[in-house]
Homo-oligomer: A and B are copies of this chain.
């Protein structure tokens, strides 16, 4: 299809698509002469991925490029590539508390939580810094994570995560794309579902369900 059809199909503007091409975010179309190019389903798919990352997930363009490069060239170590791809997603923590510099143990709260859950983790993984900051914030607000709550949250979220991982495609490039989109785009679904589960549980507890 022509670039105008590609724009119509994906709900993008021609100038946006030209921008993606200039930025090297997707391969050029097959040449059909000096001024025309032919685009196919792979371009439609790639635009959908770019829009999801740059739009809903809120990645800046250099992070979109980083993720796409990992999708295109996942390399031999899928576990490592997955970690790097997901680490390209927000939030970006530049000054996440690296723990007490005296003791030299980075991310003490996150480490203690993960060790208590018995989970395997790479201490350099971005989500460890993210967890540390989040745990520091709840502690600062006077509602620190209790062992009991950690147990409930850890168990519930592992059930959910195991379902996600079981659905991973086998092929490396597809796995990376699936992991990145599934992580970023399902986070708002999870937060909204939790707030709505609170409403349902509160209605049962307070005996005061919303009207019709």
* Residues of A near any B CB (own CB < 8 A): 45, 48-49, 51-52, 56, 77-80, 82-83, 86, 91, 110, 113-114, 119-122, 125, 127-128, 130-131, 133-135, 137-138, 140-143, 145, 149, 152-168, 178-179, 181-183, 185-206, 208-211
Contacts and interface: CB of A to CB of B under 8 A. Distances in A.
Given A120-B203, A141-B185, A164-B198, 15 more contacts: A49-B141, A86-B195, A119-B196, A120-B210, A121-B199, A121-B210, A130-B195, A131-B189, A131-B196, A149-B163, A157-B193, A157-B194, A162-B201, A165-B198, A187-B191
B130 A191 contact: yes
Contacts of A131: 189, 192-193, 196
> How many protomers of this protein does the assembly include?
2
